């Protein structure tokens, strides 16, 4: 039998009624002759609630126990989905990550998938089971402990299963009807794309568009998984939603394909650091050892042998960053006058493969922001993206102004 992977996000399984609607969609595919692997998220809001309970109980928590708690939301929806399908006379069985087994690294709360065993589920399909329901987001470490794949990780579970089982397609059902030119929740002119290139989707995801977890796009690209994003709330045809595909399969080629944002960023500046070889290595290895995810970095021109060093990181990691920097100062490995944290910044990025061959995108982006009176604090670029750090209060305005200026509401 051909295999199809269908993933349902939190809002699509938010209560028993929504689970029934999702199960009906699964039933339609079973009736077409597919064996289906269903990946489920926790009910909407559940994972946030679990994370909150962990942080309340133990602010500097043991990541192994964080995973034990936070993975549990998916267990509930997997069992309920299997029961719902059985009630519809569709032969179904649920699996938690460790039962599959879905083997991961030991990096708790951000584990990577190493391998998916296909024997257990394959045998059940051979015996006549029609649907395998898998608790997304979780796996098992080499030490035999439950791990999770980072927030949004059920997308990655889905793509990994599609690759492991050679699925015909991996359908990601969510609360919007596809990938848009920007988040439709903050820009009403956002336009749904019929197709988007893997590389553009990868950039949008890593720059904050949470519709797909970054790692899921990476895996789909590497294993040539046919990946589609669509709504679980609308009747669907085989052409619905957005197909994430190779660049060659796309006709539309604007310089900018989409705008992404990341709301909860912070900027830290180390004032008056000695400008000599090895300083950056000391600062950024200490931050990395402390688990701080540094994103943008700027070093100013030095005056009299001293310089300022600025970097950005997620706002929640500022306490850890400050502690790490204070430690290297106390140990005498680094001298600086002060560390200034700005917790009220956001990152806005424009992304497009077309930028490779068209110049002027950066100039236009900066002009649009300046016309809106928005000050740019830090800039980074790559071949297919430009990102700026700005005051958080201007984030939505910046996204909308850029969306207008690059005419993303219009198809070519
Ligand atoms: P799920 O719970 O189904 O995994 P998520 O909340 O993780 O859903 O992702 C879907 C959300 O991603 C949408 O509700 C939307 O607000 C947001 N989003 C951000 N950028 C985009 C974009 N470019 N296109 C579509 N949705 C986007
Ligand atoms: N439930 C997890 C989260 O909210 C994983 C997911 O939904 O993809 O991050
Ligand atoms: Mg998600």
Ligand 2 neighbours by CB, cut-off 6 Å: 9-10, 41-42, 47, 73, 136-137, 151-155
Mutate to test the pocket of ligand 1, among 206, 211, 212, 229 (most ligand atoms within 8 A of CB): 211
Percent of the chain with pLDDT over 90: 88
Quick one: pLDDT band at residue 19, thresholds 50, 70, 90? Answer: very high
Give the per-residue pLDDT at 301.
85
Phi and psi, residue 199, nearest 5°: -65, -35
Domains of the chain: 3-175 (3.40.1160.10), 259-405 (3.30.2130.10)
Length of the chain: 412
pLDDT band at residue 253, thresholds of 50, 70 and 90?
confident
The tens digit of pLDDT for each residue in 80-103 reads 999 999 999 999 999 999 999 999
Q: What pLDDT score does 46 carry?
A: 98
Q: Give the closest ligand to the alpha carbon of residue 184.
A: 1
Q: Return the exposure string of 384-399: e unless at least 16 CB atoms fall within 10 Å of the residue's CB, then b.
A: bbbbbbbebebbbbbb
Q: How far is the CA of 262 from the centre of ligand 1 (A)?
A: 13
Ligand 1: nearest atom to the Cα of 12: 3
Task: Average the pLDDT over 309-313 and give the result.
Answer: 96
User: If you take atom 6 of ligand 2, which residue's CA is the nearest one?
Assistant: 152
| 3-state secondary structure (DSSP) of residue 74 | helix
Q: What distances in angstroms separate CA 53 from CA 59, 69, 370, one per listed residue? A: 10, 9, 43
Please check whether residue 140 is in contact with residue 102, taking contact to mean a CB–CB distance below 8 angstroms.
Answer: yes
What mean pLDDT comes out for the span 246-271?
91
pLDDT digits (tens, 9 = 90+) for 313-366: 999 899 999 999 999 999 989 999 999 999 999 999 999 999 998 889 999 999
Query: Would you state the pLDDT for residue 238?
Result: 67
pLDDT, residue 5, reads 98
pLDDT band per the 50, 70, 90 thresholds, residue 412: confident
Is the pLDDT score of 276 beyond 90?
no
**Could you report the per-residue pLDDT of 234-250, keeping only the tens digit for each?**
776 767 899 999 988 88
Q: What is the pLDDT of residue 249?
A: 85
**pLDDT mean over 130-137:** 98
Condensed to tens digits (0 to 9), the pLDDT of residues 277-286 reads 999 999 999 9
**What is the Cα–Cα distance from 44 to 49, expressed in whole angstroms?**
10
């Amino acid at each position: 039998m051909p295999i199809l992977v269908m993933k349902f996000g939190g809002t699509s399984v938010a209560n028993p009624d929504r689970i029934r609607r999702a199960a009906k969609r699964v039933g339609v595919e079973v009736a077409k002759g597919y064996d289906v692997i269903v990946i489920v998220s926790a009910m909407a809001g559940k994972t946030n609630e679990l994370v909150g309970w962990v942080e309340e109980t133990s602010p500097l928590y043991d990541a192994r126990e964080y995973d034990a708690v936070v993975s549990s939301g998916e267990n509930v929806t997997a069992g309920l989905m299997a029961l719902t399908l059985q009630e519809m006379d569709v032969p179904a069985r649920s699996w938690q990550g460790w039962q599959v087994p879905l083997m991961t690294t030991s990096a708790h709360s951000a584990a990577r998938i190493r391998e998916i065993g296909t024997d257990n589920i394959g045998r059940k399909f051979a015996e006549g089971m029609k649907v395998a329901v898998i608790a997304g987001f979780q796996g098992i470490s080499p030490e035999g402990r439950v791990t999770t794949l980072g927030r949004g990780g059920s997308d990655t579970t889905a793509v990994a299963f599609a690759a492991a089982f050679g699925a015909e397609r991996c359908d990601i059902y969510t609360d919007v009807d596809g990938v848009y030119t920007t988040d439709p929740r903050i820009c009403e002119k956002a336009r749904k794309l019929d197709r988007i290139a893997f590389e553009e989707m990868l950039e949008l995801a890593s720059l904050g568009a949470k519709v797909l977890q970054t790692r899921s796009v990476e895996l789909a690209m590497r294993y040539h998984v046919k990946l589609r994003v669509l709504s679980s709330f609308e009747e669907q045809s085989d052409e619905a939603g957005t197909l994430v595909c190779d660049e060659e399969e796309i006709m539309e080629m604007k310089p900018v394909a989409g705008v992404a944002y990341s709301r909860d960023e912070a900027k830290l500046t180390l004032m008056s650091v000695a400008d000599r070889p090895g300083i950056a290595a000391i600062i950024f290895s200490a931050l990395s050892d402390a688990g701080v995810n540094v994103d943008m970095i700027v070093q100013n021109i030095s005056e009299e042998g001293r310089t300022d060093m600025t970097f950005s990181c997620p706002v929640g990691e500022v306490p850890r960053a400050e502690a790490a920097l204070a430690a290297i100062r106390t140990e005498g490995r680094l001298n600086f006058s002060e560390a200034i944290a700005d917790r009220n910044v956001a990152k806005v990025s424009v992304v497009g493969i077309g930028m490779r061959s068209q110049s002027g995108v950066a100039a236009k982006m900066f002009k649009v922001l300046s016309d809106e009176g928005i000050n740019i604090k830090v800039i980074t670029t790559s071949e297919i993206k430009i990102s700026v750090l700005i005051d958080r209060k201007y984030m939505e305005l910046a996204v909308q102004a850029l969306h207008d200026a690059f005419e993303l509401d219009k198809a070519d």
